[in-house]
């Protein structure tokens, strides 16, 4: 796929956080010939904490899957992922164990998946981290025409970054080690230090994040428990294997995880105020937060391992993903957090990493760093914002409180199900159409497009300005002063970067 291209200038990147966004960015930057140091606060990649078997399930919709395929990971995908073709929809609180109240089925259009050049896959969080980590190591040893003899990747675990000097472009870990680079990437999540620095610069505080009152509980049912439970097994044997349960202020999704065919159970509930993390055991047991529910769900909740609980928050929006110093950037959850359990929780961070790496495959001069980081935000932000809105709407729809709107939703779903049509329709179908657009996105192509449309012209004009020296500069100065007059800009007023890149439609 021609994704390896050495940049004209090799830079040293410090990445804070060795999770999905951090590792993906590292791979893309290594492929572009740069050096990377990744600092991870947890002693073990993929997180363990008080959840030794992990509760996390990574959803890889086609836009994420194709990134792995383009990186030659087809065999790993086949060996570790469970493919998903759609989901069956049930009512949360009705029906008994043998006869849950079924509304209908929704299948991903196979043509859409082919068009999008990737399947819909699910695997454990930890398995994905291992795959990305292995590929990062491999990419660091692939030959590079620049800095041939340098070790281009170090991954340091147990290295919590406790301070960042944005001007000096250095970080200090809790153990007192100092690392210095050309660029710092904050892939350290929504609660990370880089997001905090950006918030401080904008006079925002974590108290500005708003709790929605809904928490996401997550746990894994081991395959053995499903296979040995005569009541649970038939539902998972039935295609497509994923289920969605609609309740009042509650919703549940279950989906197969990995080739082991464990089952991930994700519950949205208003019955918990714990502000937990993905590596911290939930204070309440799953059966205690289910409320009135179908016996099938209760039975499944009793079969899960340790659960985690993460609150859904409306995180405050950052105006800038780049610090005032112009050398530190946030990506993934650190830049634009999504609600836990979102379809695109993983894919959007992976796209960020690929996009950033591809951008920096074109760097030829240190002076371009800040501009490239701002271009990253400008180009990625509209897509991230629209996906965020879709994910929010989706959770709202599946947890609709009982009432007239919910009654109409269920009647319509049931009717479509009885006609043998996809059960989602109306607002939800529109949402599915949006997903169709989102699935088709290709982060590498988008970054290439940015370069072909904007970046290379700026690059060649910069080169020209160097080679032509004073004469060109004088000419350029007179031209730009005319332009300032044309647009009514004050003489001497600095022109902000956003005016220099025209916005254009993004393929979402």
Q: How far is the CB of 37 from ligand FAD (least distance, A)?
A: 11
Q: Does 346 bind ligand FAD (CB under 6 A)?
A: yes
Residue selected from 10, 30, 37, 40 as contacting ligand FAD according to rule CB under 6 A? 40
Pairwise CA distance, residues 44 & 158, whole Å: 7
Q: Does 61 bind ligand FAD (CB under 6 A)?
A: no
Q: Does 349 bind ligand FAD (CB under 6 A)?
A: yes
Residue selected from 68, 105, 286, 345 as contacting ligand FAD according to rule CB under 6 A? 345
Which residues are paired to 238 by β-bridges? none
Stretch that binds ligand FAD, among 345-353, 457-465, 482-490, 493-501 (CB under 6 A): 345-353
Joined tokens for residue 288? 């205690």
**If we measure between CA atoms, which residue out of 54, 180, 62, 57 comes closest to residue 111?**
62
Alpha helices in 43-124 (DSSP H): 62-70, 74-80, 110-115
Long-range CB pairs of 143-148, under 8 A, 24+ apart, other chains included: 144/6, 144/10, 144/33, 145/6, 145/33, 146/6, 146/7, 146/9, 146/10, 146/33, 147/10, 147/33, 147/35
Strands 12-16 and 183-186: parallel
**If we measure between CA atoms, which residue out of 321, 310, 312 comes closest to residue 195?**
321
Residue selected from 12, 31, 34, 41 as contacting ligand FAD according to rule CB under 6 A? 41
Q: Does 347 bind ligand FAD (CB under 6 A)?
A: no
Radius of gyration of the chain (CA): 24
Residue selected from 3, 7, 11, 21 as contacting ligand FAD according to rule CB under 6 A? 21
Q: Does 333 bind ligand FAD (CB under 6 A)?
A: yes
Residue selected from 11, 15, 22, 195 as contacting ligand FAD according to rule CB under 6 A? 22
Three-state DSSP string of 349-366: HHHHHHHHHHHHHHCCCH
Cβ distance to ligand FAD smaller for residue 189 or 455: 189
Q: Does 251 bind ligand FAD (CB under 6 A)?
A: no
Pairwise CA distance, residues 71 & 23, whole Å: 13
Pairwise CA distance, residues 350 & 368, whole Å: 23
Cβ distance to ligand FAD smaller for residue 97 or 137: 137
Strand order through the sheet with 121-124:
57-60, 121-124, 82-83
Joined tokens for residue 84? 């998903």
Tokens 């929704």 sit at which residue? 106
Q: Does 355 bind ligand FAD (CB under 6 A)?
A: no
Stretch that binds ligand FAD, among 50-58, 422-430, 447-455, 459-467 (CB under 6 A): 50-58
Strands 328-330 and 170-173: unpaired
**Footprint (CB under 6 A) of ligand FAD, residues 101-130:** 125
Stretch that binds ligand FAD, among 139-147, 339-347, 361-369, 374-382 (CB under 6 A): 339-347
Q: How far is the CB of 503 from ligand FAD (least distance, A)?
A: 25
Cβ distance to ligand FAD smaller for residue 93 or 341: 341
Q: Does 341 bind ligand FAD (CB under 6 A)?
A: yes
Stretch that binds ligand FAD, among 95-103, 336-344, 389-397, 470-478 (CB under 6 A): 336-344
Q: Does 376 bind ligand FAD (CB under 6 A)?
A: no
**Footprint (CB under 6 A) of ligand FAD, residues 207-236:** 218
- Interface residues with ligand FAD (CB under 6 A)? 16-22, 39-42, 46-47, 54, 56-57, 125, 160-161, 187-189, 192-193, 218, 278-279, 332-333, 340-342, 345-346, 349
């Amino acid at each position: 796929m021609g994704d390896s291209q050495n940049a004209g200038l090799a830079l040293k990147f410090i990445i804070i956080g060795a999770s999905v966004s951090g590792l993906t960015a590292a791979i893309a930057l290594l492929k572009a010939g740069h050096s990377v140091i990744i600092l991870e606060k947890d002693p073990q990649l993929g997180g363990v904490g008080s959840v030794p078997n992990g509760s996390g399930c990574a959803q890889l919709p086609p836009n994420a899957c194709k990134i792995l395929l383009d990186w030659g990971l087809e065999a790993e995908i086949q060996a570790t992922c469970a493919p998903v073709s759609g989901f069956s929809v049930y009512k949360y609180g009705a029906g008994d164990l043998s006869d849950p109240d079924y509304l209908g089925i929704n299948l991903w259009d196979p043509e859409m998946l082919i068009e999008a050049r990737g399947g819909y896959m699910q695997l454990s969080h930890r398995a994905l981290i291992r795959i990305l980590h292995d590929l990062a190591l491999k990419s660091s040893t692939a030959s590079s025409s620049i800095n041939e003899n340098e070790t281009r990747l170090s991954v340091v675990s147990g290295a919590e970054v406790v301070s960042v000097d944005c001007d000096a472009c250095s970080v200090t870990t809790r153990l007192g080690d100092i690392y210095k680079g050309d660029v710092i990437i904050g892939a350290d999540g929504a609660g990370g230090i880089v997001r905090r620095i950006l918030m401080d610069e904008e006079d925002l505080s974590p108290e500005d994040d708003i709790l929605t009152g809904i928490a996401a509980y997550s746990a894994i049912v081991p395959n053995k428990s499903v296979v040995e439970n005569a009541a649970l097994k038939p539902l998972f044997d039935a295609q497509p294997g994923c289920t969605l349960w609609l309740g009042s202020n509650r919703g549940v999704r279950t989906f197969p995880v990995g080739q082991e065919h464990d089952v991930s159970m994700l519950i949205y509930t208003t019955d918990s105020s714990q502000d937990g993390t993905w590596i911290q055991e939930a204070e309440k047991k799953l059966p205690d937060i289910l409320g009135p529910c179908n016996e099938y769900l209760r039975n499944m909740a009793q079969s899960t391992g340790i659960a985690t609980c993460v609150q859904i928050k409306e995180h405050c929006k950052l105006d800038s993903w780049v610090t005032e110093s112009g050398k530190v950037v946030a990506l993934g959850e650190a830049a634009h957090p999504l609600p836990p359990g979102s379809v695109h929780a993983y894919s959007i961070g992976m796209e960020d990493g690929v996009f950033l790496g591809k951008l920096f495959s074109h760097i030829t001069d240190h002076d371009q760093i800040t501009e490239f980081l701002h271009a990253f935000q400008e180009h990625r932000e509209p897509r991230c914002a629209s996906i965020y809105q879709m994910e929010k709407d989706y959770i709202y729809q599946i947890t609709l409180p009982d009432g007239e709107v919910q009654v109409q939703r269920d009647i319509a779903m049931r009717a479509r199900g009885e006609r043998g049509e996809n059960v989602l329709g109306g607002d939800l179908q529109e949402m599915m159409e949006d997903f169709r657009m989102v699935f088709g996105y290709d982060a590498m192509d988008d970054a290439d497009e940015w370069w072909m449309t904007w970046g290379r012209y700026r690059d060649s004009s910069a080169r020209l300005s160097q080679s032509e020296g004073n004469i060109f500069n004088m000419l350029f100065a007179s031209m730009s002063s005319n332009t300032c007059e044309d647009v009514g800009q004050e003489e001497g007023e600095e022109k902000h970067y956003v005016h220099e890149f025209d916005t254009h439609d993004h393929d979402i």
